[in-house]
Chains A and B, each alone.
Chain A
């Protein structure tokens, strides 16, 4: 079955770059997503990338997609304490009757 893998924890210092990695299993997934969850809150869509793209940049966020290796990464430049949260990688397999499949989430801790 489908599975999305992420490392569970990442700790960085304020001002550094953070890189959160994810591997997914369905090579036919059309869209891949990054969600952010702040403590006690729901999930917010951070960014997404279409499968025919290698990279997408949005202000401090850069998403890299390596379809050959089924590897997705999220880079946060100039990480701030407000970026401390859980980050989820997610995919929708390209088959009928499926829904977003999430990784277990990476907890990003930013120290000042």
Chain B
């Protein structure tokens, strides 16, 4: 999706391994979000950031850490991957909390933990 780039697109991890997912935006938006999508569960918020240097927990933060050292990048880390973290991860951005344009989403990262 235009403006939001997620890397990698696919990844297979072994239980206990670590990895970092990168979300990069070129729209100069303040707010960035990480969601996970699981079948029948919709999208659930993991962590979010309201600006450079800030992070906050969402609905399902356990097992994940995040950093927003630069305004354009939002990193999601898994320190010790577990099979329960097998999911599709989406990054989203918005200019504000209640933006009437909604959020702009990346194309997702499909992660499998074996």
Tell yes or no: A33 within 8 A of B by CB. yes
**Chain B interface (Cβ < 8 Å from any Cβ of A):** 1, 31, 33, 35, 40-45, 48, 56, 58, 90, 92, 97-98, 100-108
Identify the closest chain A residue to B101 (Cβ): A45
Contacts of B98 in A (CB 8 A): 30-31, 92, 94
Q: In whole Å, how far is B88's beta carbon from the nearest beta carbon of chain A?
A: 9
**A102 to B103, Cβ gap below 8 A?**
no
Say whether, besides A31-B100, A35-B102, A48-B102, A104 and B40 are in contact (CB < 8 Å). Answer: yes
| A contact residues vs B (CB 8 Å cutoff) | 4, 8, 30-31, 33, 35, 41-45, 48, 50, 88, 90, 92, 94, 96-105
Q: Are the C-beta atoms of B42 and A103 separated by less than 8 Å?
A: yes
**Residue on A nearest B99 in the bound complex, by CB:** A31
